[in-house]
Structure 1
Amino acid sequence: MKKASLLLSLLGVAAGATAQQRPHYTQYILNNYILNPALTGIENYTDVKLSIRDQWVGLNGAPRTTYFSIHKPVGKSDNKATPTSFLPPGENPRGATYWEQYEASAPHHGIGMILMNDRTGNLNRFTANVSYAYHMGLNTKWNLSAGFSAGISKIGYDRAKATPAVAGDVALGDLNVYISKFRPDVNVGLWLYGPGFYAGLAAQQVVPQKYVVADDASFNKGKLLPHLFGTMGYRFLLTDDINATPSVMMKYVAGAPTSVQYDLNVKLQYRDLLWASGGYRIQDGYSAMLGLNVGNTFNVSYAYDFTTTPINTASRGTHELMIGFLLGNRWGDTCPRNVW
């Protein structure tokens, strides 16, 4: 008898099975807040992001992830004009002069919220979190922040849409048409940032949770496992108008088929206007991204992923769109000061 179902394979509730249980993102390099709560309130304004990601387009039941994030500083005393504000026409707001004048942010707090929905086939996960961070100055150039987020996840499975390989599969038991479980969701992080370098460490699902979906005891071994994310990037000028930011992210999930995975990225930015990025997810695929700042009000970016795994024979790639808004941007910053 086949004991696997989509729910079981994705959550790892079959005996001995585990898998990455958090969504993939390509544009996390533009919104690391989605992975690390320590970025809460890192900028001078309220940062709003909306994103939709369609993974493996062309496959029935392929993953679709959407999220809304918002965060802002609280008690930030250095909300003042920066080198990117009100510059004369023709001067590059992200040139060498800007980084020479860069100063660490004053100590402050940050608050925020994330709403995320991730659907794969008959499985749906909705998460709502609120976050807090404290940013402290280490010296005149560097800041260190620590943050956490907490909320709930609702994980549901629509049995009515399932087609069991074997009628009466004990993995499904006597479940009703739709089953859902609520679980706490707690995440923590650290973020070090300065004029040309950043590094972060975050842990998601830090409180391991059991997830029971079947009547048969042999299937009641599902767990929501902690996920670790390590991030690092370095920014340097190619010319006074163009800068480059190579970065790397390490993801670790204990017990997953590939417990450690690396993302490598290089982002090129022209002034405060336009950026492009290329990336490689080791043993998974390639990505490309293009984005545009529209004044000092909002920005838009698009990413495309191409997988090198066998699934590429049926998939038309992955598309990810993100729109950002800079609210309360009283000093007219045209792009993030501390996240680049």
Structure 2
Amino acid sequence: MKWFTNSIVGKTVEKKSRCLFSNIPFGKNVIGLYLTVFLFLFTAGGSLAQTRKYFGQFNQLQSYFNPALTGYEGSVVRGLVRNQWTGFEGAPQSFFLSAELDPMEINAVENAALLGNTAAGLHVIQDNFGPFRQTEMLASYGARVRISRSTNLRLGIAANYHHIRLDGNNLTTEQANDPTVNAYLNQFATLQVMDFNAGMAFTHQNYYFSYGLQNIARGRVYRGDAFIKERPFVSIFQTGFRQALSSKITVLTNMMYRIQHDLPYNLEMNVKLMAMDKFWLGVGHRANYANSYHFGFLMSNIRFGYAYEIPVTSSYLIPNPTHEFMVSFFLFRKGGVNSEAGTLIW
């Protein structure tokens, strides 16, 4: 038995299983496919390796990780594309699209971010990698209570629908009769899972603290081919701070820590310098996995962000970088980045 750790489509997969690929040639055109097959290695008991989504700009997707942060930045539509291992044919890709609405902003209420008490969001993610296509839809609802003039306590819940499609025709193995994979060779399998997330947060224009819990039902509500037996609880801690150094320079820091019993801990952080409330430069680090470099700019109600990510030496698998592009459009925003309506960037 041997442990495998791999980074695929912004995911970590760590599994205990037999090595199926010890004699396979190491070629540029096939290495990506070989590595994606690791996603499908089973233990003797038949449980599938768990996966974890990674985003270099995780701080821009707060409400996806914790529904309590739905509407924290107001009514906004976001889109993100993540291209991993650029340069390899069939390299993994992730697509993210979300919309969040604050009814108080729709009604043009002044200081809606402070006076409003509900918000709703819809998030859609699609991952394509090797034989797998995963589509996730998440509907979130957040409620908030004003503690002080500038501080809110937020609670949130989300329903999560996950559709996974496996194309067994794309599996590659030197042991066609290996029981860990031959049940799905040369055929298709689909799995649909319904689950729930919840969270709470303390938010301010200049800081936030939050805790979220994912997979509350542990994947037990499903239909289709049960090639994932159970989904573990995931605890997510997020925090961020912003501090003005001068009238033109602001420092922004964000951190996320994830705990999942069947995977190593995940710690991510980034630091950005924002100039004149118009553009920013930053660096990020995912502990034991990758470093990233960020830049972006604000133009009226539009925000654009880019992250360039490269693996650290300890997890070096493929030298090709990852590119991540993000665009946000704020629907009803009035005032500047630091207006009382809220903040346009974390």
Q: For this structure pair, what is the TM-score category when the shorter chain's length is used for normalisation?
A: 0.7 to 0.9
Q: Distance between the aligned counterparts of 1:149 and 1:26, measured in 2? A: 23
User: Does the 8 Å contact 1:60/1:121 carry over to 2?
Assistant: no
Correspondence 1:180 to 2:185: no
Q: What is the CA RMSD across the aligned residues, in angstroms?
A: 3.1
In structure 2, the CA distance between the partners of 1:195 and 1:7, relative to structure 1 (3 Å rule), is closer
Give the superposition deviation at 1:234. 1.7
Q: Distance between the aligned counterparts of 1:15 and 1:248, measured in 2? A: 37
What residue in structure 2 maps to residue 163 of structure 1?
172
Q: Distance between the aligned counterparts of 1:272 and 1:139, measured in 2? A: 26
In structure 2, runs of 5+ residues without a counterpart are 1-17, 22-33
What residue in structure 2 maps to residue 303 of structure 1?
307
Correspondence 1:36 to 2:66: yes
Q: How does 1:86-235 map to 2 (within 5 A)?
A: 105-175=114-184, 177-209=187-219, 222-235=229-242
Instruction: Give the match's secondary structure for 2:68.
Output: helix
Q: Distance between the aligned counterparts of 1:164 and 1:12, measured in 2? A: 11
TM (norm. structure 1) is 0.81
Identity %: 24
Give the superposition deviation at 1:8. 7.2
What residue in structure 1 maps to residue 286 of structure 2?
281
User: Does the 8 Å contact 1:78/1:105 carry over to 2?
Assistant: no
Q: Distance between the aligned counterparts of 2:132 and 2:243, measured in 1? A: 43
Q: Which one has more relative contact order, counting CA pairs under 8 Å at least 6 apart?
A: 1
Moved more, 21-30 or 1-10: 1-10
Q: Distance between the aligned counterparts of 1:225 and 1:61, measured in 2? A: 29
- Residue identity in the other structure for 2:320: R
Instruction: Give the match's secondary structure for 1:209.
Output: coil
In structure 2, the CA distance between the partners of 1:206 and 1:161, relative to structure 1 (3 Å rule), is same
User: Does the 8 Å contact 1:76/1:106 carry over to 2?
Assistant: no
In structure 2, the CA distance between the partners of 1:156 and 1:171, relative to structure 1 (3 Å rule), is same
In structure 2, the CA distance between the partners of 1:224 and 1:56, relative to structure 1 (3 Å rule), is farther
Q: Distance between the aligned counterparts of 1:204 and 1:61, measured in 2? A: 30
In structure 1, runs of 5+ residues without a counterpart are 83-102
Give the superposition deviation at 1:58. 4.1
User: Does the 8 Å contact 2:289/2:314 carry over to 1?
Assistant: no
Q: How does 1:58-77 map to 2 (within 5 A)?
A: 58-59=87-88, 62-75=91-104
Q: How does 1:228-307 map to 2 (within 5 A)?
A: 228-256=235-263, 258=264, 260-296=265-301, 298-307=302-311
Give the superposition deviation at 1:327. 1.6
Q: Distance between the aligned counterparts of 2:109 and 2:276, measured in 1? A: 21
In structure 2, the CA distance between the partners of 1:309 and 1:182, relative to structure 1 (3 Å rule), is farther
- Deviation track 1:175-205 (CA, whole Å, cap 9, x = no partner) reads 3521110011311121211132211111222
What residue in structure 2 maps to residue 326 of structure 1?
330
TM (norm. structure 2) is 0.79
User: Does the 8 Å contact 1:127/1:151 carry over to 2?
Assistant: yes
- Residue identity in the other structure for 2:56: T
Q: Distance between the aligned counterparts of 1:206 and 1:307, measured in 2? A: 32
Instruction: Give the match's secondary structure for 2:176.
Output: coil
Instruction: Give the match's secondary structure for 1:164.
Output: coil
In structure 2, the CA distance between the partners of 1:23 and 1:60, relative to structure 1 (3 Å rule), is farther
In structure 2, the CA distance between the partners of 1:35 and 1:52, relative to structure 1 (3 Å rule), is same
Give the superposition deviation at 1:61. 5.2
Q: Distance between the aligned counterparts of 1:208 and 1:3, measured in 2? A: 29
In structure 2, the CA distance between the partners of 1:225 and 1:15, relative to structure 1 (3 Å rule), is farther
Alignment size in residue pairs: 311
Give the superposition deviation at 1:111. 0.9
- Residue identity in the other structure for 1:168: N
- Deviation track 1:136-161 (CA, whole Å, cap 9, x = no partner) reads 10112211111111031011211111
Give the superposition deviation at 1:232. 1.3
In structure 2, the CA distance between the partners of 1:187 and 1:221, relative to structure 1 (3 Å rule), is closer
Instruction: Give the match's secondary structure for 2:114.
Output: coil
Give the superposition deviation at 1:310. 5.6
